[in-house]
Amino acid sequence: AVWVSEIMLQQTQVATVIDYYNRWMQKWPTLQALAQASLEEVNELWAGLGYYSRGKRLQEAARKVVSELAGRMPRTAEDLQKLLPGVGRYTAGAIASISYGQATGVVDGNVIRVLCRLRCIGADSSSPAVIDRLWDMANVLVDRSRPGDFNQALMELGATVCVPKAPLCGECPVKQHCQAWRRKLFGNPPKVPDVEDCGVGDCPLCPPATEPWDSSLGVTNFPRKAAKKPPRAMRTATCVLERRGCHGALEYLIVQRPSSGLLAGLWEFPSLPLAQDLQEEREREELADHLQAWMGRPVAAKGLRFIGEVIHIFSHIHQTYVVYSLPLDGDVTLDPALSPSRWVTEDEFHASAVSTAMKKV
């Protein structure tokens, strides 16, 4: 349960996760049950939660524990990280400390913020030197008798008190240890070099000389991050092919994506990535050619009805779907040599392993 919740909570908010978590634990309450699930079932349950490789890796790891480790979960952070796909340093530390009582620290986004403020660490908080130092600190600080509670308390402190924009320093239970707070109240913290002189040497933890302490920011001078790269812009043409099924209900064609890469193994309306800056007419022609391969007969570009554009932000991609529809008369024989495809009603579509972006489409 701790493992599943930790994986689901990566990059995803608690409120979103709760329903998925409950359904998952009800469906696969044990490692053995999860090991027997199919990837399609996992993708269906995960649909809408994003970062789909997480579900796939959870299931692969469950299979590995059952088939290669005699059904016994690794119990230390080192082994968890080494042996289980999808379990990184943070998740391994969280499972080992919360589930198995190992006195090992964790560093997540909340812990980074708290520790950088506690020690006035002003270098880029994603740099290897800072990250290594934060792990060392977390491993030293962790309570030896209640490591799981300590780690959760530290993360909770970051989530509720030492929050990014307006931290509640006056109510903070560790304020007497906090150098950023002292710096804000009294100027320089004692026994450390003047932060304004920092960055002159080679200290990999201090703020760079070009970005000294800004007193208007107070404790929120820390942590500091390198500027994020803007997401890559992509355009994809997608077509909702519809037909009347044998019971008269409308049906839509969905096709399966490749088993690796973005949205691996999920289902979508037939789609085609487009070069940037194509004229609309050209986009239509390219989509018509692409659909022709699916349908085994010519598709007139003029017959495609433009519906609108849908924007969806993936973590690193700003995706614009250019949406068309095409009602079909008569049956279409799908080529079995192409990717798997099927006709679904609207209800079946929503129960399938489709991404949030496709639901928007």
How many alpha carbons lie under 13 Å from residue 118 in its C-beta half-sphere? 21
CA distance 55 to 214: 43
Q: How far is the CB of 215 from ligand SF4 (least distance, A)?
A: 15
- If the CB atoms of residues 42 and 169 are measured against ligand SF4, the closer one turns out to be 169
Q: Does 4 bind ligand SF4 (CB under 6 A)?
A: no
Closest C-alpha to 129, from 197, 208, 183: 208
Binding segment for ligand SF4 among 162-170, 200-208, 238-246, 267-275 (CB under 6 A)? 162-170
Of the candidate residues 65, 130, 162, 304, the single one contacting ligand SF4 (CB under 6 A):
162
Q: How far is the CB of 223 from ligand SF4 (least distance, A)?
A: 11
Binding segment for ligand SF4 among 10-18, 167-175, 324-332, 346-354 (CB under 6 A)? 167-175
CA distance 34 to 73: 13
Size of the site for ligand SF4 (CB under 6 A): 14
Q: How far is the CB of 110 from ligand SF4 (least distance, A)?
A: 10
Q: Does 161 bind ligand SF4 (CB under 6 A)?
A: yes
Q: β-pairing, 317-327 with 232-244?
A: parallel
Q: How far is the CB of 218 from ligand SF4 (least distance, A)?
A: 8
Binding segment for ligand SF4 among 130-138, 165-173, 280-288, 345-353 (CB under 6 A)? 165-173
Q: Which long-range contacts (CB under 8 A, 24 or more apart) does 118-121 make?
A: 118/174, 118/177, 118/178, 118/179, 118/180, 119/179, 119/205, 120/179, 120/180, 120/183, 120/189, 120/192, 120/195, 120/222, 121/205, 121/206, 121/222, 121/223
Residues assigned a catalytic role: 6
148 Cβ contact list (under 8 Å, min separation 6): 97, 98, 99, 101
- If the CB atoms of residues 222 and 269 are measured against ligand SF4, the closer one turns out to be 222
Q: Pattern 79-118, binding to ligand SF4, x per CB under 6 A?
A: -----------------------------------x--xx
Footprint (CB under 6 A) of ligand SF4, residues 188-227: 219
Binding segment for ligand SF4 among 168-176, 187-195, 297-305, 334-342 (CB under 6 A)? 168-176
Q: Does 180 bind ligand SF4 (CB under 6 A)?
A: yes
User: Alpha carbon of 3 to those of 9, 24, 111, 184: distances in Å?
Assistant: 10, 12, 19, 39
Of the candidate residues 7, 155, 178, 358, the single one contacting ligand SF4 (CB under 6 A):
178
Closest C-alpha to 196, from 220, 178, 214: 214
Of the candidate residues 172, 240, 299, 353, the single one contacting ligand SF4 (CB under 6 A):
172
- Cα 288 to its chain centre, rounded Å, is 34
Of the candidate residues 69, 159, 174, 301, the single one contacting ligand SF4 (CB under 6 A):
174
Binding segment for ligand SF4 among 12-20, 35-43, 126-134, 169-177 (CB under 6 A)? 169-177
- If the CB atoms of residues 213 and 349 are measured against ligand SF4, the closer one turns out to be 213
Structure tokens that stand for 59 in this block: 């299931």
Footprint (CB under 6 A) of ligand SF4, residues 117-136: 117-118
User: Alpha carbon of 132 to those of 98, 125, 126, 283, 304: distances in Å?
Assistant: 22, 10, 10, 48, 55
Q: How far is the CB of 167 from ligand SF4 (least distance, A)?
A: 4
Instruction: Identify whether the C-beta of residue 242 lies closer than 8 Å to the C-beta of residue 326.
Output: yes
- If the CB atoms of residues 87 and 172 are measured against ligand SF4, the closer one turns out to be 172
Instruction: Identify whether the C-beta of residue 2 lies closer than 8 Å to the C-beta of residue 96.
Output: no
Q: How far is the CB of 225 from ligand SF4 (least distance, A)?
A: 16
Binding site for ligand SF4 (CB under 6 A): 114, 117-118, 161-162, 167, 169, 172, 174-175, 178, 180-181, 219
